[in-house]
């Protein structure tokens, strides 16, 4: 808090807003933007990795592996996101605690389910009851990332599966004619070429992921939507130094601008990436680039 | 292998005794004066002060957790925290699911607030927070119930003309009516509902409940609970 803000009731105009916008609560609001960006930064690669694994499994020539890959994609794509978000967080949390309980408190003689209660021994709790609050928050955040990665990984798997099949068969046959093994063909010929086919689908996913980040609030993480709703709500003088009416519209407008700006930047970056990936590819875009390059800048 | 199990058992007992001392209290943080988030971003209000005082008396270290109202019961049962202290009225339905301490607040008068004194509270549209005794009460009257997730939204619905009146405790409504410069007014007579407000705990946590029960009884006895009630609630609110 700035020293000039010691007595907010005397402030007016600009200095009131300056003090209002730097309260501890507002700082938490600003920090939560970092939370959302961190979520995206961690979730995107994790989902891509899961998607890649899922696509490889789905392509596998060993039937059980292919079933796992295809089952994963089919189940996650078929169930509403929100049901998964609610299910996974509870199921993962209780699943982890149950496993730890079985390992760490093997001599526990009471049932884990007691009526409505889910009870595990104290040292099996995740995080421990005695852990500071920030550890609970990090744990909640990690559960959220895992859930997002599982859900978006399935969509990414489907996109990558399609992209792998879109690489021209002639490319693979040529590689095989050179005597490459199945594994070599996959890593040296198929994977480098598939990204250009995958990118439109993946960029779509990225956009949806950005817009899905307010679901964090649903998972109990205090994200930008939570703070915007709380800060925007009308405040009576008895409970705050900065009473105001219903300002939720302005806070949500700010979120709208934030999301629009963020998706716009993403679009620009993805466009550039697409141009790079198209370079030298045996598709219409690559051919067009080649012709322009041959003619040269006029 | 045997030593490992033994060491595990010892560790289990040791940390079990230690971990017992940290208790996680959950509140909603959106229901002044019971509980709200202050300008510094911390939990504040009557229940913050009461909870800290009770923990000090019971010799417990308490951590505050903010949880949305609509998932506050399931998360208690799932073990994410140990106590609900969020202006929760003791009702038979809730009592079947969890355990309550003795009330730390007597049954509080509830009532309607509206934009005009002649709002139709008997047959019109009345807003209330979902999953509360107040929503239950409105549903039992002839009025159409309009539910919202947070207390704030129930009041806003009246300001926006979406609802004819809002039904909630007077403790919550009176400061809002007072701050509205005559825009809003209390309508009708206050109704006493519920059996008082208590702390909610898992049924399997009887020992912890007893410790809080003892602390609440002690605070009732020496008058410090009445002092807190007088500090946070309007002058004519019921006391012990």
The C-alpha of A144 sits at a distance from chain B's nearest C-alpha, in angstroms, of 15
- The token duo for A280 is 């030298």
**CA contacts within 13 A on the Cβ side of B167:** 31
Q: How far apart are CA B46 and CA B237, in angstroms?
A: 13
Token pair 């995080």 is found at A127
Are B28 and B72 contacting, i.e. CB atoms less than 8 angstroms apart?
Answer: yes
**A153: which residues sit within 8 A by CB, 6+ positions away?**
A46, A47, A48, A49, A50, A51, A53, A54, A76
Q: How far is CA B143 from the centre of its chain?
A: 25
* Residues B96-106 pLDDT 10s: 999 999 999 99
Beta carbons within 10 angstroms of residue A244's beta carbon = 16
> Which of A97, A121, A222 lies at the smallest CB-CB distance from B12?
A121
The fold for domain A19-167+174-235+244-280 equals MetI-like fold (1.10.3720)
In the three-class reduction of DSSP (H, G, I as helix; E, B as strand; rest coil), residue B146 is classed as: strand
Q: Check CB contact under 8 Å for A24 and B37.
A: no
Dihedrals phi, psi of B55, to nearest 5 degrees: -65, -40
Alpha helices in B45-182 (DSSP H): 46-58, 72-77, 92-97, 133-140, 151-159, 170-179
The number of C-beta contacts closer than 8 angstroms across A and B is 123
Measured between CA atoms, the residue of chain B closest to residue A19 is B39
Which residue among A116, A123, A234 sits closest to B152, beta carbon to beta carbon?
A234
Contact of A243 with A249, CB cutoff 8 Å = no
Ranges of chain B with pLDDT below 50 = 1-20
- Put simply, the chain B residues between 56 and 115 with a CB less than 8 A from any chain A CB are 63-68, 71, 74-75, 77-80, 82, 97-98
The pLDDT value recorded for residue B111 is: 92
Residue A38: the pLDDT is 93
Q: Answer yes or no: do B45 and A136 touch at CB < 8 A.
A: no
Q: How far is CA A82 from CA A78, A207, B80, in A?
A: 12, 17, 21
Cβ–Cβ of A122/B15 closer than 8 Å? yes
Q: Taking CB atoms and an 8 Å cutoff, what residues of chain B touch A246?
A: 156, 159
Query: Are B38 and A243 inside 8 Å of each other by CB?
Result: no
**What radius of gyration do chain B's Cα atoms show?**
20
Residue of B nearest to A128 (CA): B19
Question: B interface mutation test: which of A128, A143, A239 has the most B CBs within 10 A?
Answer: A239
Displacement of CA A5 from its chain's centroid (Å): 38
Please name the residue of chain B whose CA is at the shortest distance from the CA of residue A137.
B65
pLDDT tens for B5-29 read 444 444 444 444 444 478 999 999 9
**Is-cis flag, bond preceding B25, omega within 30?**
no
pLDDT at position A296: 61
Answer whether B76's CB lies under 8 Å from B169's CB.
Answer: no
Q: Which domains does chain B have, with CATH numbers?
A: 2-106+195-232 (3.40.190.10), 109-192 (3.40.190.10)
Nearest one of B82, B100, B83 to B91, comparing CA atoms: B100
Q: How far are the Cα atoms of A16, A51, A198 from residue A162, in angstroms, in the given order? A: 56, 12, 8
CA distance A15 to chain B (A): 16
Number of other residues whose CB lies within 10 A of the CB of residue B107: 18
**pLDDT by residue, tens only, chain A of 298 residues:** 566 787 777 778 888 888 899 888 999 999 999 999 999 999 999 999 999 999 999 999 999 999 999 999 999 988 888 888 888 888 888 889 889 888 888 888 788 888 778 888 888 888 888 888 888 889 989 998 999 999 999 999 999 999 999 999 999 999 999 999 999 999 999 999 999 999 999 999 999 999 888 888 777 788 898 899 889 988 888 888 888 888 989 999 999 999 999 999 999 999 999 998 888 776 777 778 778 877 765 5
How high is the pLDDT of residue B11?
43
Identity of the residue in A117, A233, A243 whose CB atom sits nearest the CB atom of B179: A243
Binary contact (A222, B66; C-beta < 8 A): yes
pLDDT at B182: 86
Task: Supply the ipTM of this predicted assembly.
Answer: 0.79
Nearest chain A Cα to B156, which residue? A246
For residues B234 and A286, give the distance between their C-alpha atoms in angstroms, rounded to a whole number: 74
Strands (E) across B61-203 are located at 61-66, 83-84, 99-100, 109-114, 125-129, 144-148, 165-169, 185-192, 200-201
Reduce the DSSP state of residue A58 to 3 states and report it. Answer: helix
Positive or negative: CA dihedral B145, B147, B151, B155:
negative
Where are chain A's structural domains? 19-167+174-235+244-280
Q: Which residue of B has its CA nearest to A122?
A: B16
Looking at residue A278, its pLDDT comes to 86
Pick from B39, B68, B150: which is nearest to A241 by CB? Answer: B39
Question: Which residues are paired to A78 by β-bridges?
Answer: none
Q: Report the alpha-carbon distance of residue B223 to residue B230 in Å, rounded.
A: 11
Strand duo B99-100 + B35-37: pairing: unpaired
Phi and psi for A203 in degrees, rounded to 5? Answer: -65, -35
Is B44 in the A-facing interface, judged by CB distances under 8 Å? yes
């Amino acid at each position: 808090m700035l020293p000039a803000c010691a007595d907010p009731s005397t402030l007016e105009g600009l200095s009131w807003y300056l003090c209002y916008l730097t309260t501890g609560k507002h700082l938490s609001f600003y920090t939560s933007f970092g939370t959302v960006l961190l979520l995206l930064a961690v979730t995107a690669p994790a989902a891509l990795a899961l998607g890649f694994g899922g696509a490889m499994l789905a392509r596998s020539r060993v039937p059980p592996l292919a079933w796992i890959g295809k089952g994963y994609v089919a189940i996650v794509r078929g169930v509403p996101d929100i049901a998964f978000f609610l299910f996974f967080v509870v199921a993962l949390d209780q699943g982890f605690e149950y496993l730890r309980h079985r390992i760490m408190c093997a001599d526990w003689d009471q049932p884990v389910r007691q009526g409505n209660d889910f009870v595990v021994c104290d040292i099996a709790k995740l995080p421990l009851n005695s852990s500071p609050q920030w550890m609970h928050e990090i744990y909640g955040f990690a559960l959220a990332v895992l859930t997002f990665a599982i859900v978006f990984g399935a969509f990414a798997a489907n996109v990558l599966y399609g992209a792998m099949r879109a690489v021209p068969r002639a490319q693979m046959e040529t590689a095989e004619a050179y005597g490459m093994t199945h594994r070599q063909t996959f890593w040296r010929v198929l994977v480098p070429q598939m990204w250009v086919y995958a990118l439109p689908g993946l960029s779509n996913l990225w956009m949806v992921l950005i817009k899905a980040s307010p679901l964090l609030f649903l998972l109990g993480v205090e994200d930008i939507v939570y703070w915007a709703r709380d800060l925007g709500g009308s405040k009576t003088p008895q409970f705050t130094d900065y009473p105001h009416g219903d300002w939720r519209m302005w806070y949500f407008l700010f979120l709208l601008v934030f999301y629009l700006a963020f998706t716009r930047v993403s679009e620009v970056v993805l466009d550039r990436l697409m141009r790079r990936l198209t370079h030298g590819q045996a598709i219409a875009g690559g051919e067009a680039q080649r012709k322009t390059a041959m003619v040269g800048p006029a | 292998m045997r030593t490992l199990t033994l060491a595990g058992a010892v560790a289990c007992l040791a940390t079990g005794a230690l971990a017992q001392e940290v208790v996680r209290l959950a509140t909603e943080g959106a229901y002044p004066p019971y509980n709200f988030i202050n300008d510094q971003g911390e939990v504040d209000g009557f229940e913050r002060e009461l909870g800290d005082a009770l923990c000090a008396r019971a010799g417990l270290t308490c951590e505050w957790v903010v949880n949305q109202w609509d998932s506050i019961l399931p998360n208690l049962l799932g073990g994410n925290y140990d106590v609900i202290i969020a202006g929760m009225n003791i009702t038979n339905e809730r009592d079947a699911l969890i355990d309550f301490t003795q009330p730390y607040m007597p049954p509080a008068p509830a009532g309607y607030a509206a934009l005009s004194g002649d709002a139709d509270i008997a047959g019109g549209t009345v807003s209330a927070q979902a999953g509360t005794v107040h929503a239950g009460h409105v549903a039992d009257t002839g009025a159409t119930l309009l539910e919202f997730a947070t207390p704030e939204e129930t009041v806003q619905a009246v300001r926006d003309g979406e609802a004819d009146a809002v039904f909630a405790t007077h403790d919550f409504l009176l400061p809002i009516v007072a701050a509205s410069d005559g825009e809003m007014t209390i309508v009708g007579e206050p109704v006493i509902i519920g059996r008082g407000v208590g702390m909610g705990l898992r049924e399997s946590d009887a020992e912890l409940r007893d410790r809080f029960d003892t602390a609440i009884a002690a605070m009732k006895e020496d008058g410090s609970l009445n002092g807190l009630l007088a500090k946070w609630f309007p002058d004519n609110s019921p006391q012990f």
